[in-house]
Amino acid sequence: MDERVREHAEVLVDWSARVEAGDDVVVSVAEDAHDLGVAVAEALGERGANVTTLYGSDELSRAYLKGAEARADGDRSGDNPDDDPDDDSAADPDDPGGVPDFDDDPAVDRAIFEAADAYLRIGGGRNTTASADVASETRQAYAKARKGVREARMDTDWVSTVHPTRSLAQQAGMAYEEYQEFVYDAVLRDWEALAAEMARMKEVLDAGEEVRIVTERDGAPDTDVAMSIAGRTAVNSAASVAYDSHNLPSGEVFTAPYDAEGEAFFDVPMTIDATRVRDVRLVFEGGEVVDFSAEAGEDALASVLDTDAGARRLGELGIGMNRGIDRFTDSILFDEKMGDTVHLAVGRAYDACLPAGESGNDSAVHVDMISDVGERSRLEVDGEVVQRDGAFRWEEGFEG
pLDDT digits (tens, 9 = 90+) for 297-324: 999 999 999 999 999 999 999 999 999 9
Specify whether 211 is located in the same domain as 117. Answer: no
Stretch 193-220: mean pLDDT, rounded?
92
Q: Is residue 169 part of a domain?
A: yes
Q: Is residue 57 part of a domain?
A: yes
Distance CA 95, CA 76 (A): 10
What is the end-to-end Cα distance of the chain in Å, rounded?
Answer: 49
Q: Is residue 319 part of a domain?
A: yes
351-394 pLDDT tens trace: 889 998 888 899 989 999 999 998 999 999 999 999 999 999 99
Q: Is 219 a residue whose pLDDT tops 80?
A: no
Q: Is residue 83 part of a domain?
A: no
State the alpha helices, DSSP H only, in 1-94. 3-10, 34-46, 58-76
Stretch 344-352: mean pLDDT, rounded?
94
Dihedral sign for Cα 191, 196, 202, 204, please: negative
Specify whether 102 is located in the same domain as 214. Answer: no
Specify whether 178 is located in the same domain as 206. Answer: no
How many domains does the structure of the chain reveal?
A: 2
Dihedral sign for Cα 68, 70, 76, 79, please: negative
262-271 pLDDT tens trace: 999 999 999 8
CA dihedral (285, 287, 291, 297) in degrees, to 10, reads 160
Report the pLDDT value the prediction gives residue 275, as an integer from 0 to 100.
Answer: 87
Specify whether 140 is located in the same domain as 278. Answer: no
Phi, psi of 318 (to 5 degrees): -125, 145
The residue segments making up the domain with residue 155 are: 3-61+96-187
Q: Write down the pTM of the prediction.
A: 0.81
User: What phi-psi label fits residue 350: left (phi over 0), alpha (psi between -120 and 50 degrees) or beta?
Assistant: beta
State the alpha helices, DSSP H only, in the chain. 3-10, 34-46, 58-76, 107-114, 136-145, 147-154, 166-172, 176-187, 191-207, 298-305, 332-335
From 138, 161, 187, give the residue that closes a domain. 187
Specify whether 309 is located in the same domain as 356. Answer: yes
Stretch 116-142: mean pLDDT, rounded?
92
Distance CA 33, CA 356 (A): 38
Q: Is residue 78 part of a domain?
A: no
Q: What percent of the chain has pLDDT over 70?
A: 94
Q: Is residue 70 part of a domain?
A: no
Distance CA 42, CA 316 (A): 35
Q: Is residue 16 part of a domain?
A: yes
From 158, 187, 216, give the residue that closes a domain. 187
* CATH label of the domain that carries residue 111: 3.40.1830.10
DSSP state of 13: I
Specify whether 13 is located in the same domain as 132. Answer: yes
Q: To 5 degrees, how large is the angle CA 30–CA 349–CA 215?
A: 95
More confident residue, 5 or 86: 5
For 24-46, b/e burial (b = at least 16 CB within 10 A) is bbbbbbbbbbebbbebbbebbee
Residue 6 · residue 39 · CB < 8 Å: yes
Q: Is residue 399 part of a domain?
A: no
Stretch 175-187: mean pLDDT, rounded?
97
More confident residue, 136 or 260: 260
More confident residue, 330 or 75: 330
Rg of the chain over CA atoms, in angstroms? 22
Specify whether 145 is located in the same domain as 282. Answer: no
Which band of pLDDT confidence, cut at 50, 70 and 90, is reported for residue 95? very low
From 131, 153, 187, give the residue that closes a domain. 187
Specify whether 289 is located in the same domain as 358. Answer: yes
Beta strand ranges found along the chain (DSSP E): 24-29, 50-55, 118-123, 157-162, 210-217, 220-228, 235-237, 247-248, 252-255, 258-266, 270-272, 275-285, 288-296, 314-320, 341-347, 366-372, 377-381, 384-388, 391-392
Specify whether 210 is located in the same domain as 250. Answer: yes
Specify whether 183 is located in the same domain as 300. Answer: no
Which band of pLDDT confidence, cut at 50, 70 and 90, is reported for residue 83? very low
Specify whether 207 is located in the same domain as 270. Answer: yes
Specify whether 152 is located in the same domain as 199. Answer: no
